[in-house]
Chains A and B, each alone.
Chain A
Amino acid sequence: MDMAGGKSRLTWAVNLFAALLVLLWIIPTVGLLISSFRDRDAISTSGWWTALSASEKNVIERALAPDQAKPEGDLWVLEGHVLEGQGVTVTAFGITSKEPVAFTPGDTATHARGHKITVRADGRYRIEYAEEPSESRGQRLFVRAETPPGFTLDNYREVLFAEGMGRSLLNTLTVTIPATIIPVLVAAFAAYALAWMEMPGRALLVAAVVGLLVVPLQVAFIPLLKLHIGIGLGKGYLGIWLAHTGFGLPLAVFLLRNYMVGLPGEIIESARVDGATDFQIFRRIILPLSFPALASFAIFQFLWVWNDLLVAKVFLGTGEDQVVMTGRIVDLLGSRGGDWEILAASAFVSIAVPILVFFSLQRYLVRGVLAGSVKGAAV
């Protein structure tokens, strides 16, 4: 609204609070993302929020032994490099422990014994002696250095190939894809029948589906596991597909039926008048028109199955070819709880796909959330 006399202070406050809220909500995820790119030592010695800025450290290094100095004109010169190969920038240096940062890079410090010392920002140093020095202990150099933020892909490499996350990713996909498609299909047919076909007891069936919406799925574990083992299905993919299908069906039937009931009846009736069978009506008219609802549920089910831990732990075996990503992460939490870099990278691998799906298909997800609860639970 663009009202006269609206207070800009209020708008400002609203923006500020919204920004704070959003920040609060994304910080945890950002922390994980950053951590997953840091190397092992960095993660366990400093917080992830320090990773973005350069970190400073103070080191003491001994210069080369003075007896290696080479003549240059009438001077004896020693040249070398502190913190060689570490890509750091020297921000200050000193030559006594009392004043370790007394000089800025490029300055020349004069030692009590007369020799002159210069350390440059890139770490190169030069010590000039008036006479040929003879000591074999090198001059102590106190250096304050800045390390640029360092990121690495090693964690991901290790997680995907050595820790079996790659394998688990495949397992998760094997579980997720059929466990998403099958309930959509089964539910779509049932929803159409419950919405538009004449059958006795239709209202009762709908009520039953609504009731099943809230049955906690823990109920199913023991009986079904017994059943699966009893009929020789055992622990495996077929079992978990069926289980996920069963657990997802109430919501699917409910969502889709609600949507299909809302489709204009004239279209279906005119198709009947045109001589189409129910199967043709379903395939040619209902399915295409219901696409938004199908997509909504499919995304829901996909996220739910992908993120599930409990069902997978119960219905799948513990073999290498059946452990899904969530299960793998829980195992890692137990066995390698201290290896933060492994945990962070694994977790990010497992949430990358859902987040990708989330951002690209958010529209449908929102629609599904709305249809599933507002129309669903309340109405």
Chain B
Amino acid sequence: MAHLTLSGLTRSFGSEVILNDIDLDIQTGELIVFVGPSGCGKSTLLRMIAGLEKITDGTLEIDGQVMNDIPPSQRGIAMVFQSYALYPHMTVRDNMAFALNIAKKPKAEIDAAVDRAAKALQLEPYLDRLPNALSGGQRQRVAIGRAIVRNPKVYLFDEPLSNLDAALRVATRIEIAQLKEAMPESTMIYVTHDQIEAMTLADRIVVLANKGIAQVGSPLELYERPRTEFVAQFIGSPAMNLLPGKITATGPKTEVTLDAGGVAVTEIATTDTDMGRAVNLGIRPEDFVIADGDAIFEGEVEILEALGEVSLLYLPANMSVGEGAVSANQTHLIAKLPGIHDGLKGQSVCLTADPAKLQIFADGITMRR
């Protein structure tokens, strides 16, 4: 029911800039996810939308109305906090009814809204309990219920699953996805550092890095066509391998000769001016296949991690690491092969990949147009 426009949004404390010049359009009914390494400002951006942090510069519009100086409660938003932020001295019912009580809504209306939300979230048996008598998952649902009761235009989620254990996290993630489906008109903004949450929930993902937006796009777009090395390595696990090399042939199919010796032909088009340019060849670990003849990379398997469904092969190599990358390995190339490959440890293997899936980055930016 609401569409948000962020233009030139900036947040700074004195001379220290936290977020710089954020431009973003969020459509009605969209579920958008902010991801990024810790400290990238994703929570700050969410809190600026909520009104919990002042906007230093730029404007925030919800449905065309400038919200910069509107207090949080009048923005038509509801927020689910990381720690749930339930009022410990109130029962579940009072927690969910608090906002409506403050707004002095008629009692019948409040009860109806609370009951409806409780039913949807299977919280009915717990309505008269205090939060500390609930399990983590139940508290999480109360927090969501508290948001639903207010019937907001925009839902904000601040890492809502990070305090849950792994199994519960998956279950709650699915619940949130179902919730979204039940309310197709609601706009939702979801902050997480967990890329699986981002990939599974998002209509669009906003990757934040370096005080700004690195890339906005659908989950698959980010996976298949990362705009920068940072995004390439941030999305996907293990991170994309970046092998340093030079462009040795241009045209519709560009050829990269790696410093390590291998040659890769990609389906990215370049022009003659790019000839000889130093680039990084990006290959996702899961895109590697074992080759018989022509290999992009050849080396000895130093470490082999057998996970059952897949095996991770670590081959010593001189890797490039994208700026700000969190999980990239600098000393080994990683290949992820389906199935069990017990015999490969200590063996020399030749690896190649589908040319369509290769990426080329020059100065950290993709050469794909």
Residues of A within 8 A of B (CB): 1-6
Which stretch in B49-57, B136-144, B166-174, B253-261 binds the other chain?
A: B49-57
How many chain B residues touch A (Cβ–Cβ < 8 Å)? 13
Q: Are A2 and B53 in contact (CB under 8 A)?
A: yes
Taking the complex as formed, is B340 at the interface, i.e. its CB lies under 8 A from any CB of chain A? no
Closest to A2 in B: B54
Taking the complex as formed, is B354 at the interface, i.e. its CB lies under 8 A from any CB of chain A? no
Interface string of B46-84 (1 = CB under 8 A from A): 001001111100000000000111111010000000000
Closest to A1 in B: B52
State how many angstroms separate the Cβ of B108 from the closest Cβ of chain A.
31
Closest to B53 in A: A2
9 closest A-B pairs by beta carbon, nearest first, are: A5-B71, A4-B51, A2-B54, A5-B69, A4-B54, A5-B70, A3-B52, A2-B53, A4-B69
State how many angstroms separate the Cβ of A7 from the closest Cβ of chain B.
9
CA separation between A1 and B54, bound complex, in Å?
10
Contact residues in B for A2 (Cβ distance below 8 Å):
53-54
Contact residues in A for B48 (Cβ distance below 8 Å):
4
State how many angstroms separate the Cβ of B249 from the closest Cβ of chain A.
55
Closest to A5 in B: B71
Closest to B13 in A: A2
CA separation between A2 and B54, bound complex, in Å?
6
Contact residues in A for B72 (Cβ distance below 8 Å):
3-5
Contact residues in B for A5 (Cβ distance below 8 Å):
51, 69-72, 74
CA separation between A6 and B51, bound complex, in Å?
10
28 contacts between A and B (CB under 8 A): A1-B52, A2-B53, A2-B54, A3-B51, A3-B52, A3-B53, A3-B54, A3-B71, A3-B72, A4-B48, A4-B51, A4-B52, A4-B53, A4-B54, A4-B55, A4-B67, A4-B68, A4-B69, A4-B70, A4-B71, A4-B72, A5-B51, A5-B69, A5-B70, A5-B71, A5-B72, A5-B74, A6-B71
CA separation between A141 and B247, bound complex, in Å?
107
Closest to B70 in A: A5
How many inter-chain residue pairs (CB < 8 Å) link A and B? 28
Closest to B73 in A: A5
Contact residues in A for B70 (Cβ distance below 8 Å):
4-5
State how many angstroms separate the Cβ of B149 from the closest Cβ of chain A.
22
Contact residues in B for A3 (Cβ distance below 8 Å):
51-54, 71-72
State how many angstroms separate the Cβ of A9 from the closest Cβ of chain B.
13
CA separation between A5 and B69, bound complex, in Å?
5
Closest to B11 in A: A2
Residue of A1, A3, A4, A6 most packed against chain B (CB within 10 A): A4
CA separation between A207 and B142, bound complex, in Å?
40
State how many angstroms separate the Cβ of B70 from the closest Cβ of chain A.
6
Contact residues in A for B52 (Cβ distance below 8 Å):
1, 3-4
Contact residues in A for B53 (Cβ distance below 8 Å):
2-4
CA separation between A4 and B49, bound complex, in Å?
10
State how many angstroms separate the Cβ of A100 from the closest Cβ of chain B.
60
State how many angstroms separate the Cβ of B50 from the closest Cβ of chain A.
9
Closest to B69 in A: A5
Additional pairs, 20, CB under 8 Å, beyond known A4-B53, A5-B69: A2-B53, A2-B54, A3-B52, A3-B53, A3-B54, A3-B71, A3-B72, A4-B48, A4-B51, A4-B52, A4-B54, A4-B67, A4-B68, A4-B69, A4-B70, A4-B72, A5-B51, A5-B70, A5-B71, A6-B71
Closest to B67 in A: A4
Interface string of B172-201 (1 = CB under 8 A from A): 000000000000000000000000000000
Residue of A1, A3, A5, A6 most packed against chain B (CB within 10 A): A5
Closest to B60 in A: A4
Closest to A7 in B: B71
CA separation between A2 and B70, bound complex, in Å?
13
CA separation between A6 and B68, bound complex, in Å?
11
CA separation between A3 and B48, bound complex, in Å?
9
Contact residues in B for A6 (Cβ distance below 8 Å):
71
Closest to B74 in A: A5
Interface string of B9-37 (1 = CB under 8 A from A): 00000000000000000000000000000
Interface residues of B in 294-319 (CB under 8 A from A): none
CA separation between A5 and B52, bound complex, in Å?
9
Contact residues in A for B54 (Cβ distance below 8 Å):
2-4
CA separation between A66 and B278, bound complex, in Å?
110
Contact residues in B for A1 (Cβ distance below 8 Å):
52
Interface residues of B in 239-282 (CB under 8 A from A): none
